[in-house]
Amino acid sequence: MASDRDLVQRAASGDRLAYRDLVQRYQTVVFGYAFFLTRDLDAGRRLAREALVRGFAEIQDSDRPWIEDLLQIVNALHRQGRRLKSSSIVDAGPDEGGSGPAPALSPALLQAIAEELHSLEVEERTLLTLRHGGGLSPEEIAEATGEPASGVSSQIARCFKHLRDRLVERAREGGLSLGV
């Protein structure tokens, strides 16, 4: 498998297949982050799609991780008014949706959130994305998944705690600032 650095270099030279590989590698993270910002599935899809298109137009060969640049594009587009609803994963509790515009997050925190979301088990990532990104209630998630609503609420709380604990641990180990 090609490294991100290799794919970025090739994509920056106009290799559309390399960019396709980058998109396939990170589209889940980009969509998840866009959902967290917009709290609307359709708006999240549009925001992520626009960010991926702009990401190709603006791709540069740099030492910085490409996903960081892409998440900054998502954040910038969101701040420019391409949002319906928003929340902050750092500020929201397991069953809180947040309200008002999401604060601008530091590039390091964006990267940490993206990495930690990407490293979660698929089930955890799906539950968090549906609840905090898609704005679905535990009852709506239960209906969609066929699980009992009481069990879904507990699973969401555990998943959110797991993600938050991982971010806090990273902050302790590497000096990551969780302040926004």
The pLDDT tens digits for 57-115 are 777 766 777 777 888 888 888 888 643 333 333 333 333 444 444 455 677 777 777 77
Residue at 137 is within a domain: yes
Tokens of 50: 């626009």
Q: For residue 113, give both structure tokens.
A: 């959130």
Backbone torsions φ then ψ of 61, nearest 5 degrees:
-85, 105
Residue 180 inside a domain? The answer is no
- Judge contact between 68 and 29, C-beta under 8 A: no
**Which pLDDT belongs to residue 69?**
80
Q: Is it the case that residue 133 has pLDDT exceeding 60?
A: no
126 in a structural domain: yes
Residue 27 inside a domain? The answer is yes
Of the chain, the percentage scoring pLDDT greater than 70 comes to 75
- Structural domain includes residue 179: no
User: Sorting pLDDT into bands at 50, 70 and 90, what band is 132?
Assistant: low
Number of structural domains the chain divides into:
1
Highest mean pLDDT: which of 86-95, 114-123, 150-159?
Answer: 150-159
- pLDDT score recorded for residue 88: 36
Asked, for residue 46, whether it belongs to a domain, the answer is: yes
Residue-number span of the structural domain to which 48 is assigned: 4-174
pLDDT for res 109? 74
Residue 10 CB contacts under 8 Å (≥ 6 apart), including other chains: 2, 17, 18
Instruction: Quote the distance between the C-alpha of residue 112 and its chain's center.
Output: 10
